[in-house]
Chains A and B, each alone.
Chain A
C-alpha cells in the first residue's frame, strides 16, 4: 500500500494482544494491520481503552503480541537474532506520554543524552558526546543548548522535558518514532510548537512516525500528509489518508468522533444531536464484547444482522478501508464495485 513500493519500516500483520487476568481474558487488540514507511506518518486515533497504546507498545517491541507479526524491514522482530534486534532497537524509538515520568529525575539533560551516544559508540569521547547532545538540543529547539544541558528534569517545564525526551529518542538516529500521546500532557499553547518541531524532524530527517492520539485535531494537524487509522475496542475500524478520513468519514464511529470535536460556535453546537447521534454513550466492556459488529449497540446506522456478523476491514476506495456492514455496502454499491460480499 506504500506508494513507493518499498518494504515498509514497520508492518503489523494480524496482530493480537490478549491480556490474561483473573476475571478472564481481555482482548485489548485484535487483528490490527498497518504499516509505516520512512518519512511517513500514521496516526492512530480512538477513545481511551481502544488499544492504541497497546498497539504502539507492540510496535515498539515493548510487548510481545499474542498473535500475528510485528515486522521491521520485513522481518518479524521476535524472530530476529540479537544483531538484527539491536538494529531494530536502535531504529525504532518511543516517546512516552508523560514527560514527568519518562526522564530520570537524578540525571541531567546532558547525562541523559550522552549515555546512549557513548554506549553505542556514536561518540568517541565525552567531549564529542557533549557536542552531539548540544546539536540534539538545537534540533528540538532547546536553545541555547548550554543553558539546558546541565539542568535536571525538575528544572524544566513540561514542554521542555518533552523536547528532551524527543532529543533522547533521536540520539540513535532512529528511522521510526512511536509517539504515544506525546503531546497530550502538554499545554495547548506548547502543543503546536511541539508538533511543528516533530514535523520538521519528519521532513528533514525522513523519520517515520507512528503517532498515537485521542485528539483528532492533532491527527489532522500532524498527519495531514499521512494516514489515519481509527481504532475501536481493539480493532481498526477505518483507515485511509488523513484528509479523506477527516473530511469524508465512512465508519459511523469515525463520524461520531468527529462530531464530538467541540465547536467554537454555540449555535452550531446546539444543532448537534445528544450523544453525538449515538444510541448509547456506554463503552462496552472488553471482557464482554458485543456480538457481531462491536459498535452495534451504539451505532446510529444499526440494521438487523449487524449484531450477528463481524464486519471485516474491506477496501472501499483507493487506500481506504472500512469495517462496516452498512456504509461499506453503500459505498461499494455506489462505486459499482462487484467485490467481496459481506462476510458470512
Chain B
C-alpha cells in the first residue's frame, strides 16, 4: 500500500521521508480504493446497484467466452430447453447468447453519449458562468435553441434520413443533443460557487483562470456531475432503445434494442414459446437502469469529503 494521503500525487517520495509517511498513514487510516468500497458498503441499495452494473459490464466484456455461439439454426422459435435455456429466435439463434452479447452496443452508446453530454455541459456551463458577458449570452441562446428541438423526433427524422451506420454516430448524436439542460444547471451552480471566498482567494493567489474554473470550482460539483452522468446514461439508453424499437437505427448485429424491435415486428408476443425472446432484453434494460440509478445514491456520499467521514 502506498501512503494514504488525500491527494496521492502529493505524497513525498517513499524512503526519503519515513517519518512523514507514518504520520500521514495514521492521520488518514484507509486508502482511496478501500475507502471507496467501505463507503459503498454503507448503503445497501448503492451496493446492490454497483454489483448489478459491474456484473452487467463484466457479462458484456466476457460475452464471447460465456456464450459466444450466435450462429443461426433451423430450430426457429424453439421453447426453452437444456440446450437453449431461453429458447431460440426467429432465425434459430440461441436467445441466451443474444442476451449475453446484446449489451455491448447499449453500454457503449449509453456511456459514450453520456460522456459527451457531460463534457460539453461542464465545459460550456462553467466557462459561461465564470466569464459571463458575450460568451455566456451566446451559449445560453445556443442552449435554448437545442432545448426547443424535440430530441426523439429529431433522432427519428435523422435516423430515417441518414441511417446511422454505426453505434458511434448514434452516441455522438444523442450526446450532442442532450447537453443543454445539464449545462444550464452547471452554469447556475458555478454562478453561486464563483462568488465563494475560496474562489476569490484563488484569484488573489493568481492561480490562473482555467485552473480556478476546472480545479477549484468544478470538482465541488463532482457528485452532482457524476450523478447527472449516470442519469445521462439512462436517458441515452432509452433514446437509443426507442430508436431501435421504431426501427430507425441500423438493425445489424445483436443488441437488446434490436431484439425488442425484432420480437415486436415478427410477432414474438403472440407466440408463448417466443416470450423469453422479448422479455429477456427488456429485463436486461430495466436491470441496467435500476443498477445505475441505485448506484447514484452512494456516489454522493463517496464523493463529498464532508459526508465521507461521518
Contacts and interface: CB of A to CB of B under 8 A. Distances in A.
A104 B205 contact: no
B27 A116 contact: no
Contacts of A90: 206
B198 interface: yes
Interface string B288-310: 00000000000000000110010
B211 A106 contact: no
Nearest to B19: A146
Main secondary structure of the interface of B (DSSP, over half): helix
Interface string B185-209: 0000000000011101110111110
Contacts of B205: 93, 115-116, 119, 168, 171-172
A126 interface: yes
Contacts of A102: 197-198, 200-201
Nearest to B211: A119
Interface stretch (A150-158, A221-229, A293-301, A335-343): A150-158
A98 B201 CA distance: 12
Given A110-B5, A126-B9, A155 B207 contact: no
A62 B200 CA distance: 8
Contacts of B222: 106
B138 interface: no
A251 interface: no
Contacts of B273: none
Contacts of B27: 146-147, 150-151
A105 interface: yes
A126 B10 contact: yes
Interface residues of A, number: 43
Contact of A150 (B9, B24, B206, B309): B24
Contacts of A130: 10, 12
Contacts of A62: 200, 204
A24 to B, nearest CB: 24
A52 B53 CA distance: 56
A279 B12 CA distance: 64
B145 to A, nearest CB: 32
Interface residues of B, number: 35
B23 A144 contact: yes
A111 B11 CA distance: 11
Contacts of B206: 86, 89-90, 116, 119-120
Nearest to A116: B205
Interface in B216-275: 216, 219-220, 222
A146 B23 contact: yes
A198 interface: no
A176 to B, nearest CB: 12
A111 B10 contact: yes
Nearest to B9: A126
B24 A106 contact: no
B28 interface: yes
A171 to B, nearest CB: 7
Interface in A115-131: 115-116, 119-120, 126-127, 129-131
Nearest to B215: A115
A93 B5 contact: no
B23 A104 contact: no
Contact of B6 (A105, A108, A120, A144): A108
B20 interface: yes
Nearest to A117: B205
A50 B36 CA distance: 50
B283 interface: no
From A106, A107, A151, residue with most partner B Cβ within 10 Å? A106
A208 interface: no
Given A146-B19, A146-B20, A147-B23, A154 B201 contact: no
A4 to B, nearest CB: 27
A125 to B, nearest CB: 10
A106 to B, nearest CB: 5
A111 B222 CA distance: 17
Contact of A165 (B12, B23, B196, B201): B201
A37 interface: no
A40 interface: no
Interface in A265-311: none
A127 B12 contact: yes
B197 A98 contact: yes
A72 interface: no
A104 B196 CA distance: 9
Contacts of B23: 144, 146-147
A110 B201 contact: no
Interface of B: 4-7, 9-10, 12-13, 16, 19-20, 23-24, 27-28, 196-198, 200-202, 204-208, 211, 215-216, 219-220, 222, 305-306, 309
The 4 A-B residue pairs with the shortest CB-CB distance, nearest first, are: A146-B23, A108-B6, A102-B197, A116-B205
15 contacts: A89-B206, A98-B197, A106-B220, A110-B6, A144-B23, A147-B27, A150-B4, A150-B27, A151-B6, A152-B6, A154-B309, A155-B309, A165-B201, A168-B201, A172-B205
Interface of A: 60, 62, 86, 89-90, 93-94, 96, 98, 101-108, 110-111, 114-116, 119-120, 126-127, 129-131, 134, 144, 146-147, 149-152, 154-155, 165, 168, 171-172
